[in-house]
Amino acid sequence: MRIVIAGGHGQIALRLERLLAGRGDEVAGIIRRPEQGDDLRLVGAEPVLCDLESATVEQVAAHLQGADAAVFAAGAGPGSGAARKDTVDRDAAVLFADAAVRTGVRRHIVVSAMAADPDHQGDDVFDAYLRAKGKADEYVRKQSALDWTILRPGSLTNDPGTGLVRLEASTGRGSIPRDDVATVLAELVDTPATAGLTLELISGSTPVSVAVKSVAGN
């Protein structure tokens, strides 16, 4: 498969790229800065230079040509203000979905956030983040041309992955290593039967492959 990942230099994305390339997939990661390219090459991914905050849908669609799946893993990141939550976490996610529709790349996975809600109240930057993520998710869900799956991890850690998770429509609060989020994403790419699902993810006691098959109805 050829898989294009938005936010290709992110901590989860780099882990996912390594997993996908390691199993033989062709992986491209969209990055904003040329100096990030070497990190992608080290994990076996092709760096694609494109700023999702300023690109047109046509420019992004050109990078999705020939892809079998698209993963949105971009984010403004810690330290960014409320405005960039809108331009990256919301607007770039919408742009990426529109580009996928335009190129006919149906399999579409979004890395969202637990408690994302377009109507979330509050004035803090994190409140803006949850609203932005919620609005992006709401937009993607309306795209009938996409076989979308939305993944909402709990609090992210850099602990080593265990391969044991809880993956459900509602898990309650919890944490999850980024390693395990990447492993779940790799499994979701291969499981189109999860299309149409919004899933929460925290550490648990179920092996990843079993957890994904369970929510897929297998």
Catalytic residues: 129
Q: Which residues is 200 bridged to in the sheet?
A: 152, 168
Q: 63 near 4, Cβ under 8 Å?
A: yes
Q: What's the alpha-carbon Rg for the chain, to the nearest Å?
A: 16
Closest by alpha carbon to 164, among 204, 214, 192?
204
Q: 10 near 75, Cβ under 8 Å?
A: yes
Tally of residues, the chain:
218
Identify the three-state secondary structure at position 110.
strand
The DSSP bridge pattern shows strands 26-31 and 2-6 to be parallel
The CB density around residue 2, as the number of other CB atoms within 10 Å, is: 17
Q: 5 near 29, Cβ under 8 Å?
A: yes
The amino acid that residue 141 corresponds to is R
Closest by alpha carbon to 185, among 141, 137, 217, 152?
152
